[in-house]
Amino acid sequence: MMREPRSVVITGASRGLGLASATHLYKLGWRIVGAMRSPAVGLERLRAATGAAADDRRLVGVRLDLDDSSSIVAAAKAIEEATGAPDVLVHNAGIAAAGSVEEMPSEAFERLFCTNLFGPVRLTRELLPSMRAAGRGRIVVVSSQGGIRGIPSISAYSASKGALERWAEALAEEVAPFGLGVTVLVAGTFKTDILTEQTPHYGNLTGPYATHYAGIERTGGFMVRRANPPERFAAALARALDERVPFARHAVGFDARMLLFGSRLLPGRLLHHVLRLAMSIPRYGALRDRLRVRPPRVAIDKSPSGESEQHG
């Protein structure tokens, strides 16, 4: 009797790391459930990348909008109807936004937390009963360097990924007794569209943080030119799916490994300076003189009567 292929649910499977991961795992024999906003478009991309036929049962598309609780409930039901309790749930979908804390609108913070944190939490809650009943499964959380340390100009993204990691750590303790494990993959810089067209920038490039943005742009351009292909992340994910430990965290990419290592080794004050230098942020107090408000110039004129009059 032929064994059924293992099933993996990947959110955001229509592009970037999700598309590369779904393609790689399909070729390894997994059954792929791609959870995405536009399944018709996403499935076409997956079929093109994998060579799968339109009626291939190892490739399933499910509509999922992580900002919509009713969509999450419907997606979980469709997933269980398609494959039962999934062997693996990969929280890959996410969005980013750039801009200083002062210039980032509250709506952007809320949107990032809805997509990057609250959505994954809700989807996990919907699927956990079936996974718990099966007594097996792994939940994989895709984090980033911003989840290790707050990165200037992407504070909302960093905060959402940091919160996602703390949630994953707590979840691992809760589900381990039922035979479920949790893995956090800290992704470095990869060549995906989140680096360019998918990330809105709310910063004022001629405002008080203009020097910050210029330095970060130079560093970012350097990192993008040396970014890894998404296929390298997909291979690391495939290795992580075979883990049998209650909790694991792995950095994927040289830059992520260096930051994770540095965060464990260096004191916070020193790490602050290392990141400042790496991202060309002005030193402490360097911009203070620019922001001082000078008193208005006062001209003293003599009136015809000989009394002084002040004009601001």
pLDDT > 90 fraction of the chain, expressed in percent and rounded: 80
In contact, 216 and 153? CB cutoff 8 Å: yes
Q: What is the pLDDT of residues 184-202, one digit of tens each?
A: 999 999 988 766 567 899 9
Question: Which pLDDT score, from 0 to 100, does residue 230 have?
Answer: 95
pLDDT score of 293 more than 90 = no
In this prediction, residues 205-227 reach a mean pLDDT of 86
Examine the residue annotation and report whether 157 is marked as an active-site residue of this protein: yes
Alpha helices in 106-249 (DSSP H): 106-113, 119-134, 155-175, 210-225, 230-240
Angle at 42 between CA 36 and CA 46, to 5 degrees: 125
The DSSP symbol for 4 reads: P
Residues 23 and 46: beta-carbon distance below 8 Å? yes
Q: Which of 2-11, 222-231, 261-270 shows the lowest mean pLDDT across its residues?
A: 222-231
Q: What does DSSP say about strands 59-63 and 88-91: parallel, antiparallel, or unpaired?
A: unpaired
The pLDDT of residue 208 is 94
Band of pLDDT at residue 12, cut at 50, 70 and 90: very high
> What confidence tier does 292 reach under pLDDT thresholds 50, 70, 90?
low
3-state secondary structure of 111: helix
8 A C-beta contact, residue 182 and residue 292: no
Q: State mean pLDDT over 85-106.
A: 96
Annotated active-site residue in 26, 157, 209, 213: 157
Q: pLDDT value at position 302? A: 42
In this structure, the dihedral spanned by the alpha carbons of residues 23, 29, 33 and 39, taken in order and rounded to 10 degrees, is 40
Q: What are the φ/ψ torsions at residue 264 (nearest 5 degrees)?
A: -85, -25
pLDDT at residue 42, rounded to an integer: 96
Residue percentage of the chain with pLDDT more than 70? 91
- What pLDDT is recorded for position 139? 98
pTM: 0.89
**pLDDT score at 199:** 87
Total residue length of the chain: 312
